Amino acid sequence: MNRLLSILASMVMISVVGCTTGQKFGSTHAMETAEPKVMDLYTGDIPGSIATDDLEVVRDPSHPDTFIQRVTYPTMTVYLPARDKATGTAVVILPGGGYGGVSVVKEGYQVAERLNEQGVAAIVLKYRDPLDANMQDKKFGPLQDAQQALVQVRDNAQQWGVNPGKVGIMGFSAGGHLASSVAVHFDDPVLPHWQPGDVRPDFQVLIYPVISFDESIAHMGSRRNLLGDSPTEELIDYFSSELQVTKDTPPAFLAHSGDDGSVVVDNSLTYYKSLQDNGVSAAVVVMPTGGHGFGMRNPIDWFEVMIDWMGAEGF
């Protein structure tokens, strides 16, 4: 396996595996859409939370790529496409930030706007940072929020023009880790009143994702923020998504740059190999350049390839 990953990681080209390209899905033309709506993720008290003041801050208010830290009260920003263009598909977007914040513009709002152009509803989740100050068990707070977002989308499916059987999850960097955690742990919901079908995404899109918490390839800052300085081997394995894949894991699209110096490409390649080993449909795009955190701004338009993949997969 290590030899295979080494060969794949050395590629300096776009590599698309396991998908059919050339099938366009929706329109690429701008269209009139409703104004985004911000709504609380939970009604009433947040299960498992500790009452506290709102600790949220913006890291650099003057920076156009807003990065929000110490998220205490999670929200969803709902972007709905024009009804005459809507496909019925929805995507919950989890921005990255190393479990120390959320990059809501370049890995959230800008992605949502482009999904709307394709007739896809997009829900940007401002999920809670794993903080001891506001969570009884910070390890599972972000996962609970992401599962709750899927529940909310399906609960509002009729109102939003969404097919509850076409609800995907998309994550960037540590948000990709969270998205993959949702995809592999749907059969173990955080809250006891949820059923697996409530919180299972129908597909997953992971962009330069943190996947593994194995020290050899892990982004250790993300691991430390979520699990602390001395996590048990059981927790490391539980949150290493490549170890948790089964035949029932949703189909996946992954994109990563080979020169990513923060979250090494082996994260995506290891996950892809695990998906393949379990018979799960998957595609991976390895781009030669881009580093980490490029959002929609890579010279190679991974988004267009993703749209082709969604069409080929029936989403």
Domains by residue range for the chain, with CATH: 2-313 (3.40.50.1820)
pTM: 0.90
- Please say if the pLDDT value at position 29 is more than 50: no
Residue 123 confidence (pLDDT)? 98
What is the band of 31 on the pLDDT scale with cuts at 50, 70, 90?
very low
Residue 130 confidence (pLDDT)? 97
Per-residue pLDDT of 172-195, as tens digits, reads 999 999 999 999 999 999 999 999
Per-residue pLDDT of 36-57, as tens digits, reads 999 999 999 999 999 999 999 9
What is the band of 5 on the pLDDT scale with cuts at 50, 70, 90?
very low
Name the residue among 57, 40, 58 with its Cα closest to residue 49: 40
What is the band of 33 on the pLDDT scale with cuts at 50, 70, 90?
low
Mean pLDDT of 156-166: 98
**Percent of the chain topping pLDDT 70:** 90
Compute the mean pLDDT over every residue in the chain, rounded to the nearest whole number.
91
Per-residue pLDDT of 205-250, as tens digits, reads 999 999 999 999 999 999 999 999 999 999 999 999 999 999 999 9
- Please say if the pLDDT value at position 9 is more than 50: no
How far from each other are the two terminal CA atoms of the chain, in whole angstroms?
A: 31
